[in-house]
Amino acid sequence: MSEKIFALVMAGGRGTRFWPESTSKRPKQYLKLFSNNSLLKETLLRFDGMILPEQRYIVTVKEQESMAHMEADGEIGENNLIIEPAGRNTAPCILLSIASLIKNGAGLDDLMVIVPADHVILNTRGFLATLGDSLDFIRSKDTLVTIGIPPTFPHTGYGYIQKGEAILNEVYSVLKFREKPNFETAKAYLKTGHYLWNAGIFVGRIGRFLAEFKKHAPEIYGFYNALQESISSFQKTSDIYNQIPKNSIDFAVMEKSDQMSVIPARFDWNDLGSWDALEGVVEKKNQNIFAAIKDAYVSNSAGNIVFAPNKFATLIDVNDLIIVCNEKNVMVISKEKAQKVKDVVEYLEGHHLKNELL
């Protein structure tokens, strides 16, 4: 019997950098920001032609269960929604997901692709080609592969992967995972040509993932058998899961593993980390970016980003602004200060309107 390929889509994040449209009640991955589909649905559709819907899984938190069901309709198997009892970062989340896959009949030799739910990749053909190369390499050499993004500028908001010698064609060894750098360090990384952005995309055999957990994160792996036995009871799973130490998959496993390889992406990539990132995925109209609006009147205005679902937008003598309007909020912010949205979120954490607006 031939191996199967599974996709695991990580969909439990909050995405508050896209406030006020993204909130804890409807996080970024459920928004329709650049097409008629949510980011989560676009992520699932990206696997068409390579991974069957019944072999696609979503893992998310309890609060997002109904939204995930709605967006995944027809794009995953009937019982392929994994519910994380509580947010404990990506390492416990992936271990729980592996336990669920094995419980559902997956084997240790089967392949698994782990991807975030809220990234934008427009070149699906390039994505599938790069993923195909990763799978082919893993079949010949039992290793873990991460797909790194060739950097286009010295970004300080991403982690970096330092690639080593070429192993085969465009497959490289991983020398080191680097944390988010300052600007000068990021410039130095870019200049060498030996660094890639860490996109959080990982590929490997299920058995290899478990072996690396066991070797490098025994304090987390130690809960694996109990998790697997508890899968049929959410309460039992919750009791066990809440005992697992919080940690990211990068810190717990990937940065320590000597079984890591990296393949540079042959596709565009955007993690939509802030509103200004829409410039990279939405085509300009009349020198401005409009998303989800009905129509617009523009006079002597350029470089603006407007998100106003089902509304008519008017721009007169304004430039380089981000304007977001929904049922409860209006936000106007200078485009160069897009990251300041997090300041508003922090302010609202202690505000009497927190439950309504966050």
Q: Rounded to whole angstroms, how far apart are CA atoms 129 and 8? A: 18
Residues 136 and 250 in one domain: yes
Pick the last residue of a domain from 209, 238, 264. 264
Shared-domain flag, residues 58 and 165: yes
User: What pLDDT, on the 0 to 100 scale, is given for residue 12?
Assistant: 86
309 and 194 within one domain: no
pLDDT tens per residue, range 289-302: 999 899 999 999 99
Give the helix, strand, coil percentages of the chain, each rounded to 5.
Answer: 35, 25, 40
CATH classification at residue 125: 3.90.550.10
Following DSSP, what letter does each residue of 191-204 receive, concatenated? HHT-EEEEEEEEEE
pLDDT greater than 90 at residue 1: no
Q: Are residues 35 and 140 in the same domain?
A: yes
Banded pLDDT at 263 (limits 50, 70, 90):
very high
Judgement on whether residues 317 and 182 belong to the same structural domain of the protein: no
Residue 67 lies in a domain: yes
Whether residues 35 and 171 share a domain: the answer is yes
Residues 308 and 235 in one domain: no
Is residue 11 assigned to a domain? yes
Predicted local confidence at residue 121, as pLDDT? 96
Q: How many domains does the chain have?
A: 2
Other beta carbons within 10 angstroms of residue 129's beta carbon come to 14
pLDDT digits 0-9 by tens, 93-151: 999 999 999 999 999 999 999 999 999 999 999 999 999 999 999 999 999 999 999 99
Looking at the fold, whether 35 and 116 belong to one and the same domain comes out as yes
The percent of residues above 90 in pLDDT, for the chain, comes to: 87
**Residue keyed to tokens 């329709």:** 32
Which residue type, as a one-letter code, is found at position 140?
Answer: S
Domain identity same for 329 and 280: yes
Domain assignment of residue 270, yes or no: no
Report pTM.
Answer: 0.92
Residue 354 identity: K
Residue 114 tokens read as 């782990």
Q: Is residue 269 part of a domain?
A: no
Same domain, 56 and 153: yes
**Position 78 in a domain:** yes
Q: State the residue range of the domain holding 302.
A: 275-357
With beta carbons less than 8 A apart as the criterion, state whether 144 and 161 touch. Answer: no
